[in-house]
Amino acid sequence: MPRAAVPAYEQVKAFIRGRIASGQWKPGDPVPSEAALMQQFGISRMTVNRGLRELAGEGLVTRIQGSGTRVAQLHRISSRLTIRDIHEEVAERGHVHSTRVLLAAREKASAAMAQSLGLRTGGAVFHSRLVHLENGVAIQYEDRYVNPAAAPDYLKTDFTQVSPTLHLLQHAPLTEASYSIEACLPTAEEAKELGIRRTEPCLAMMRRTVSGAHVASVARLVYPGSRYSFAGQFQA
């Protein structure tokens, strides 16, 4: 028997997705059991199981052991938000990325910063400030503090060649991160470096990354509202 071009478990997924998308199966409705789908498709249970398990992972169906599989209540469509290197992001748009380095220094940690990074107050901390440009236009002001324990060579990096994010991704494998995005007005310094008025609203992303046992970095990324937006797509 020749293998189909599209795997059997994908066929099962497509079948169920279709019923849900077309509205034939509504939230809360039962999905055929693994045994039923085995018969219907003439395939083994492991294969059916894989299809259903993946649909559950995508949030399209809910499975309860002993009870059965049902169409998920709210079709929570979700997209993946990813920490990316801005250089890569700009390059993907076919544009030229460049960097203006404002500061790259070793400093003594303030109490607040020490707390954030899990250091002792007054301990050494790396501090960088730079502006990212896309085709020569400033799109991001990056103010970052780095834990020397997580990335000891941070300051040796030429940030015009390797962005701080990339250096950190390569030297301090991410294990955890948190972020928040808010709207704010730029500080005088930020406005000056970004070349915008102080009244222009900006997106600010606060990001804290953890690598293994260390908090690796705390950053504030400021984007002019008129030049940048976060966009994404959801797919069921």
Q: Is 113 in the site for DNA (CB under 7 A)?
A: no
Closest distance of CB 73 from DNA, Å: 15
Q: What does 236 interact with, of DNA, its own copies, none (CB < 5 to 8 A by kind)?
A: its own copies
Pick between residue 84 and residue 108 the one whose CB is nearest to its own copies.
Answer: 84
Residue the block writes with tokens 């950190």 = 168
Within 13 Å and on the Cβ side, how many CA atoms surround 125? 27
What do you get for the CA distance between the two ends of the chain, in Å? 32
Q: Measure the CA–CA gap between 148 and 151, rounded to whole angstroms.
A: 5
Binding residues for its own copies (CB under 8 A): 20-23, 26-27, 46, 57, 74-85, 166, 169-170, 173-185, 199, 201-203, 212, 223, 225, 228-236
Q: Is 44 in the site for DNA (CB under 7 A)?
A: yes
Pick between residue 8 and residue 205 the one whose CB is nearest to DNA.
Answer: 8
Q: Is 161 in the site for DNA (CB under 7 A)?
A: no
Closest distance of CB 122 from its own copies, Å: 27
What's the one-letter identity of residue 222? V
- Contact present, 127 and 219 (Cβ < 8 Å): no
Q: Measure the CA–CA gap between 186 and 204, rounded to whole angstroms.
A: 9
Q: Measure the CA–CA gap between 91 and 163, rounded to whole angstroms.
A: 13
C-alpha separations of 53 from 28, 40, 72, 193 in Å = 17, 18, 13, 50
Residue 30 tokens read as 């039962």
Q: What does 20 interact with, of its own copies, DNA, none (CB < 5 to 8 A by kind)?
A: its own copies
Q: Measure the CA–CA gap between 121 and 44, rounded to whole angstroms.
A: 61
**What is the per-residue binding string for DNA in 54-73, x denoting contact by CB under 7 A?**
--x------xxxxxxx----
Packed helices 8-21 and 45-57: angle between N→C axes, nearest 10 degrees: 50
Q: What does 82 interact with, of its own copies, DNA, none (CB < 5 to 8 A by kind)?
A: its own copies
With CB under 7 A as the rule, give the number of residues binding DNA.
Answer: 29
- How many CB atoms sit inside 10 A of residue 192's CB? 12
Pick between residue 8 and residue 166 the one whose CB is nearest to DNA.
Answer: 8
**What is the per-residue binding string for DNA in 11-40, x denoting contact by CB under 7 A?**
--------------------x-xxxx----
Interface residues toward DNA, by CB under 7 A: 3-4, 7-10, 31, 33-36, 42-47, 49-50, 52-53, 56, 63-69
